[in-house]
Chain A
Amino acid sequence: MSAPNNNQRHTIAVLVDNEPGVLARVVGLFSGRGYNIESLTVAETKPEAGVSRITIVTSGTIQIIEQIKNQLRRLVPVHTVSDLTIEGPHVERELALVKVSGTAGRVESLRIADIFRARVVDSTNESFVFEIVGRPDKLEAFIKLMKPLGLVDVARTGVVAIARGPQAL
Chain B
Amino acid sequence: MAYEEMTGAKILVQALIDQGITDVFGYPGGAILPVYDELFQQNQIRHVLVRQEGGAVHGAEGYARSTGKVGVVIVTSGPGSTNAVTGLADALMDSIPIVCFCGQVPTHLIGNDAFQECDTTGITRPCTKHNYLVKSTKDLARTIHEAFYVARSGRPGPVLIDLPKDVSLGLGPYIPPADVVHKTYQPRVEGDRALIEQAVAMMAEAKRPIFYCGGGVINSGPRASELLTQFVNMTGFPVTLTLMGLGAVPASHPQFLGMLGMHGTYEANLAMHGSDLIIAIGSRFDDRVTGRLNAFAPNAKKIHIDIDPSSINKNVLVDIGIVGDVTRVLEAMIEVWKARGYKADAAAIADWRRQIEEWKGRNCLAYRHSDEIIKPQHAIKRLYELTKHREDVFITTEVGQHQMWAAQFYGFEKPNHWMTSGGLGTMGYGLPAAMGVQLAHPDALVIDIAGEASIMMNIQEMSTINQYRLPVKVFILNNEYMGMVRQWQELLHGGRYSQSYMSSLPDFVKLADAFGAVGLRAEKPSELDDVIKEMISIDRTVIADIRVDKAENCFPMIPSGAAHNEMLLGPQDKAEQPISEEGMVLV
Identify B317's interface contact among A3, A71, A74, CB under 8 A: A3
**Is B184's CB under 8 angstroms from A78's CB?**
yes
Instruction: Output the least CB separation between B278 and chain A (Å).
Output: 13
> CB-CB contacts of A1-40 with B at 8 A, as 1s and 0s?
1110000000000000100110011001000100000000
CB distance from B147 to the nearest CB of A (A): 10
Which residues of chain B are near A32, meaning CB under 8 Å? 126
B125 touches A28 (CB 8 A): yes
How would residues 117 to 132 of chain B score, 1 for a CB under 8 Å from any chain A CB and 0 otherwise? 0000110011001110
Q: Assess whether A60 is interfacial by the CB under 8 Å rule.
A: no
Does A71 contact B183, Cβ atoms closer than 8 Å? no
Q: Which of B308-316, B373-381, B419-427 contacts A (4 or more CB under 8 A)?
A: B308-316
**B314: which A residues are within 8 A, CB to CB?**
67
Question: Is the CB–CB distance between B184 and A67 below 8 Å?
Answer: no
Q: Is the CB–CB distance between B185 and A70 below 8 Å?
A: no
Q: Does B133 contact A (CB under 8 A)?
A: yes
Q: Is the CB–CB distance between B313 and A63 below 8 Å?
A: yes
- Closest residue of chain B to A73 (Cβ to Cβ) is B309
B319, CB-defined interface residue at 8 Å: yes
Are A70 and B310 in contact, with the CB atoms below 8 A? yes
**Which one of B150, B317, B318 has the highest number of Cβ atoms from chain A below 10 Å of its Cβ?**
B317
**How far in angstroms is the closest Cβ of chain A from B34?**
23
A24 to B183: give the CA distance in the assembly, Å: 20
Do B184 and A77 have beta carbons less than 8 Å apart?
A: yes
Q: With both chains docked as a complex, state the minimum distance between the C-beta of A1 and any C-beta of chain B, in angstroms.
A: 4
A153 at the interface (CB under 8 A from B): no
Q: How far is the CB of A35 from chain B (nearest CB, A)?
A: 12
| Residues in A whose Cβ lies below 8 Å from that of B319 | 1
Query: Given contacts A1-B317, A74-B310, are A21 and B133 in contact (CB under 8 A)?
Result: yes
B: contact size bracket: 20 to 34
- Chain A's interface size range is 20 to 34
A106 at the interface (CB under 8 A from B): no
Give every chain A residue within 8 A of B310 (Cβ-Cβ).
67, 70-71, 73-74
Residue of A nearest to B122 (CB): A24
Q: A63-B317, A67-B310, A70-B309 are in contact. List 9 more A-B contacts (CB 8 A).
A: A1-B317, A2-B317, A24-B122, A28-B126, A67-B314, A70-B308, A74-B308, A77-B184, A78-B184
**Assembled-state Cα–Cα distance A82/B276 (Å):** 35
Pairs of residues from A and B, 3 with the lowest C-beta to C-beta distance, nearest first: A70-B310, A1-B317, A76-B130
Interface centre among B310, B314, B317, B318 (most CB of A within 10 A): B310
Q: In the assembled complex, how far is the CB of residue B446 from the closest CB belonging to chain A, in whole angstroms?
A: 33
Q: Are B122 and A17 in contact (CB under 8 A)?
A: no
- Cα-based distance from A40 to B111 in the complex (angstroms): 26
Q: A119 at the A/B interface (Cβ < 8 Å)?
A: no
B122 pairs with A20, CB closer than 8 A:
no
Interchain Cβ contacts under 8 Å between A and B, 13 examples: A1-B319, A2-B317, A3-B317, A25-B125, A70-B310, A70-B312, A74-B308, A74-B310, A75-B130, A76-B150, A76-B185, A77-B184, A78-B184
Give the residue among A32, A63, A70 with the most B Cβ atoms within 10 A.
A70
Chain B proximity of A166: nearest CB distance (Å): 25
B303 to chain A, nearest CB (A): 13
- Within the assembled complex, what's the spacing in Å between the Cα atoms of A25 and B125? 7
Closest CB-CB distance, B110 to chain A, in whole Å? 11
Say whether A79 faces chain B, with CB atoms less than 8 Å apart.
yes
- Tell me, in angstroms, the Cα distance from A122 to B495 when the chains sit together: 71
Is B125 within 8 A of A21, CB to CB? yes
How far is B314's CA from A3's CA once the two chains are assembled, in angstroms? 12
Residues of A within 8 A of B129 (CB): 76
The answer to whether A66 and B313 touch across the interface, beta carbons within 8 angstroms, is yes
In the complex, chain A residues whose CB is within 8 Å of the CB of B130? 75-76
User: Please, which residues of chain B bring their CB within 8 A of the CB of A78?
Assistant: 184
A166 to B126, CA, bound (A): 38
Cα distance A1–B310 when bound, in Å? 18
Would A79 and B133 count as touching, CB distance under 8 A?
no
**CB nearest to B187 among chain A residues:** A74
For A79, give the chain B residue with the smallest CB separation. Answer: B184
CB-based contact B121/A21 at 8 Å: yes
Q: With A67-B314, A70-B309, A76-B150 in contact, do A20 and B133 touch (Cβ < 8 Å)?
A: yes
Q: Whole-angstrom distance between the alpha carbons of A75 and B155 in the complex? A: 12
Distance in angstroms from A78 CB to nearest chain B CB is 6
Residues of B within 8 A of A70 (CB): 308-310, 312
Shortest distance in angstroms between A150's beta carbon and chain B's nearest beta carbon?
42
A24 to B131 alpha-carbon distance, docked (Å): 12
Chain A hits for B317, CB < 8 A? 1-3, 63
Assembly CA distance A80 to B121 (angstroms): 24
Q: A67-B310, A73-B309 are in contact. Are A17 and B126 (CB under 8 A)?
A: no
When C-beta atoms are compared, the residue in chain A nearest to B154 turns out to be A74
CB distance from B359 to the nearest CB of A (A): 27
> B279-310 interface mask toward A, CB cutoff 8 Å, 1 = contact, 0 = none?
00000000000000000000000000000111
Task: Tell me, rounded to whole Å, the shortest Cβ–Cβ distance linking B23 to chain A.
Answer: 26
Residue of A nearest to B155 (CB): A74
CB distance from A6 to the nearest CB of B (A): 16
Known: A17-B183, A76-B130. A24 touches B125 (CB 8 A): yes
CB distance from A60 to the nearest CB of B (A): 13
Bound form: Cα–Cα A17–B130 in Å? 14
In whole angstroms, what is the CA distance A84 to B529 when docked?
Answer: 66
C-alpha spacing A79/B184, complex, angstroms = 5
The interface residues of chain B lying within 8 Å CB-to-CB of A73 are 309-310
Q: Which of B470-488 contact A (CB under 8 A)?
A: none
